[in-house]
Amino acid sequence: MAQATMCSFDVKGRFMIMRWGRIWSTPLIMIVGIFLLAGLKPMAVGQTLSAKPAQTGQDVLPVYIEEFFLSEAVRSEEHGELQFTIDTITSRGKGSAADGKSADLDIEYGITKRLQLGMEVPYGIQSTASSELPVSWSSLNASLLYQFIRSNHPFALSGSMGVNVPLTSRGEFGFEPELLIAKAFGKLQIHTSVIPELSDDDKSLEYNVAAVRPLAHHLIPTLEFNGRRNKGLNSFYVTPGMYKHLPRRMEIGMGVPVGVNSQSSPIGVVVKMTLEFGGDDDD
């Protein structure tokens, strides 16, 4: 979402910055990156890369946050747990897949500790021809997710199949298979996801790599690298963000997608809030 900064030198060799509009986004990304790297523990003297700590069958990958901003987290709701997520995104400028404004309600329910039922109802406030955002309430997505591996060893693994159901003539019927993999390195977690969308009229692809690491005072920084291909256009974003855990199993966060190629929207804002009810604490 950020245009490339143009640089030049004057006759005295002084460095001139021609565009200042997105300079603030670079230190923001660097700050979040430093927070995440703080989770990596230095290797002890004489320790080899092959050394692994002893593992147990209960070594489930910890859940630091319920949702990333543009990526997907490798997790599933506990048995009997119900989660509501409300989010909004705004972005504009380059005719990319992320252009527009939308609000979204996402409902997830844990059928078992591995199997999850989900329903997503997006509302497109403003959408362009190249955007992946819907037009008004034109469709909903129903999905089933299964977490095949909950442990960190060798990695956490989930798979999902979603179905886009048109609600109006402007909606499209389609399928969204998902593959999600996560791995922890100390307190730092890396989550990856690949999500193609298959419909009669068009095919799109979403792919993400996201990092998360908890800090003190219930603050959790995130950093995402997001790729999108929609309507034949490729766009790429770097999305730093921050979550805050609140009482009553609530969390709220804000992310700032920053475009890194000429077909990406320069900058945007994503705000998410989640709230959970029920669930088995001993699963």
* Per-residue pLDDT tens digits for 210-265: 999 999 888 999 999 999 888 778 889 999 999 999 999 999 999 999 999 888 88
Q: Quick count: other Cβ atoms within 10 Å of Cβ 183?
A: 16
Hey, what domains does the chain have and what are their CATH numbers? 18-33+62-276 (2.40.160.40)
Give the mean pLDDT of 121-140. Answer: 73
Has residue 114 got a pLDDT over 60?
A: yes
User: How many Å apart are CA 5 and CA 23, to the nearest integer?
Assistant: 8
* Per-residue pLDDT tens digits for 146-186: 999 999 999 999 999 999 998 888 778 999 999 999 999 99
For all residues of the chain together, what is the average pLDDT?
80
pLDDT at 128: 64
pLDDT at 231: 75
Look-up of token digits 């193609």: 196
DSSP E strand boundaries for 76-173: 81-91, 100-110, 115-126, 139-149, 156-166
pLDDT at 213: 95
pLDDT at 87: 94
User: How many Å apart are CA 223 and CA 264, to the nearest integer?
Assistant: 18
| Three-class secondary structure assignment of 155-211 | CEEEEEEEEEEECCCCCCCEEEEEEEEEEEECCEEEEEEEEEEEECCCEEEEEEEEE
Let me know: does 276 contact 106? Beta carbons within 8 Å.
Answer: no
pLDDT at 253: 97
Give the mean pLDDT of 125-137. Answer: 67
* Per-residue pLDDT tens digits for 51-65: 333 344 458 899 999
